[in-house]
Structure 1
Amino acid sequence: MSRTPTTARRLFDRFEPVHALTYFAPESREAFAQLGLRGFWMGYFAARSAPLGPVATEVVTAVFYNFAPSHVAGALPAAWELTSPADVLRARETAAVAALRRCGVTDGDARVAADLLAKAAASAALDGRPLFAANRALPWPDEPVAQLWHATTLLREQRGDAHVAVLVANGVGGRDCNVLHAVADLVPRDFIMRSRQYDDEEWRICAARLSARGILDAEGALTDSGREFKQHLEDSTDALSLPAFDALDDAELELLFRTLTPITRSVIGAGDIPAATPMGLRRDDLDDDGAHLS
């Protein structure tokens, strides 16, 4: 049987929500607050960058790519004056596991999917993927639910690093890519403006750059070539992400879909993760447990 880049996208829609509890679950928000981290964004930037250590703000901005430098600087390095990366790493894992258990995920539910995701993540390519590499250097957890969360975190950062590489190679800047994502109707404009801190003027400037390349028309909508370009970015990301699962044979990949999809449905059903996220997650396929290898 053969695999297509669509397989990678369908897997992403399943493992990203498991990881995303790290930021949205009340257990995580409370854990970060107990460390002295103020508000959602200080917790987010500290938790996601903690594997890198207390690096310069510019490094985090470069790796995260689509955030405004001032947004990152509002949280870092101030977070490391309140707590340490080691403490944040412990807190984010403990809270994520507690949230997954509240969502109904048991060790028995998690064990098979965790083993398969860990097998993929342990052999996935490190080259050019700094955030994935930093996370993979961390110790593997012992408990199945913790292993599940850790492996999903590794694979979403592996894909995220690949997506940044695709954007850079195609000349799409970190701020322009958010505008393109919104115009393509993958995430609401008002949501991305709030979550990535745009004002109307910066949005206009980004749109003008995309228009100059023929990606947007005079009304700010995607041109035909713009639609093709956006699909090229998504397809390229999927293609770069698919080899992460080469360590799994077809039977294992089928088993991963069957065991991970119900977990993702439970996570989504708990309601912690908002319907609109910057990742543009798709939920209309989660009733399908099959891998659909051709």
Structure 2
Amino acid sequence: MAIHVARRIWTTLEPIHDVVYFGAGIKEAGVEIGLRGFWQTYFAFRAAPLGAVTAGAVTATFAGFHPDMVGRALPDAWSRTSPSRCLEARSAAATRLLRASGARDEECARAVELLLPALRGADPTGRPLFAANAELSLGQDAVAALWQVATALREHRGDGHVAALVGAGVSGAHALVLQVAAGKVTEPVLRTARGWSAPEWAALVGDLTGSGLVTGEPSAPELTADGVALLERVEAVTDESAWRGALSRLSEEAVAELTAVLEPLVRAVRTSVVPANNPVGMGQ
């Protein structure tokens, strides 16, 4: 089966965005501006384009995180620093990490040029994380601009994925179980990274078992035929929504050039920065 063009673009842009989660020095970048630890840095950095939003708003838009986990980070983060300082710090950290992975100004500037029609022409309806990121200035640094464009379009897809899950009647928490059952990430990594206890996870698996979507033990659930079909529908809707909502502004030639221009950087990031078993589900 051919891979949807929107998914091919995602596999190019996602690793570039992900340096701000998995790269060395991210926690320290947050601590330097007053934040407390990695997870407060994660939530504050990612939510910063939205402003000083509440834990409830982040739980809803990020989808899948335990509300208590979010509540330990927000709104306390905003008493320690500001969204504007978070935006500056995350951009600087991402740029440093991409340059360390071999990002060069000429290639990054060309990639930004190729992606701008999708960024500027994208439909923001129901996509708050995309819309907030799309409003940010790209600045003059080509590497920083590439990270920001990749981030905005990545969040466009993510917002659409959440909508696809909601349309299929799947909560963010139950979607985590489906990802584990699909073999995209292991249970200990995803459950811990999203803040769910073992008993809570077992209950989520029990829900999906009762619905006929998964089978097996909580630590190693497997998709049933119905589970496979559901997940395939959600992913297909996500791909098509990302394409129609933004990426279709790119010509076939632009997509080919984009992937070729960024391939060395993406390969370096996936090899040296993004772990193979990660909660994003972006395997090596």
Specify if TM > 0.5.
yes
Indicate the residue corresponding to 1:69 in structure 2: 67
Indicate the residue corresponding to 1:199 in structure 2: 197
Where do 5+ consecutive residues of structure 2 fail to align? Answer: none
Indicate the residue corresponding to 1:25 in structure 2: 23
TM-score (norm 1): 0.91
8 Å Cα contact 2:16/2:147 also seen in 1: yes
Indicate the residue corresponding to 2:253 in structure 1: 251
Indicate the residue corresponding to 2:112 in structure 1: 114
Indicate the residue corresponding to 1:221 in structure 2: 222
Alpha-carbon deviation of 1:259? 0.8
Deviates more, 1:25-34 or 1:225-234: 25-34
8 Å Cα contact 1:103/1:267 also seen in 2: yes
Alpha-carbon deviation of 1:227? 1.1
Indicate the residue corresponding to 1:83 in structure 2: 81
- Superposed CA RMSD: 1.5
Percent identity at matched positions? 39
Matches of 2:225 and 2:53, distance apart in 1: 42
Deviates more, 1:182-191 or 1:260-269: 260-269
TM-score (norm 2): 0.94
Q: 1:33 to 1:86 in 2, by over 3 A?
A: same
Alpha-carbon deviation of 1:212? 2.1
Indicate the residue corresponding to 2:142 in structure 1: 144
Matches of 2:224 and 2:61, distance apart in 1: 30
Q: 1:218 to 1:89 in 2, by over 3 A?
A: closer
Alpha-carbon deviation of 1:43? 0.5
Matches of 2:107 and 2:118, distance apart in 1: 18
Alpha-carbon deviation of 1:200? 2.0
Deviations 1:108-134, CA, capped at 9 Å, x for gaps: 221211211233112111011011011
Matches of 1:236 and 1:198, distance apart in 2: 27
Indicate the residue corresponding to 1:268 in structure 2: 270
Deviations 1:159-191, CA, capped at 9 Å, x for gaps: 000000001111111111101110111111111
8 Å Cα contact 1:121/1:154 also seen in 2: yes
Alpha-carbon deviation of 1:276? 1.5
Q: 170, 176, 187: which one pairs with 2:168?
A: 170
Indicate the residue corresponding to 1:155 in structure 2: 153
SS in 1 for 2:214: coil
Matches of 2:29 and 2:74, distance apart in 1: 18
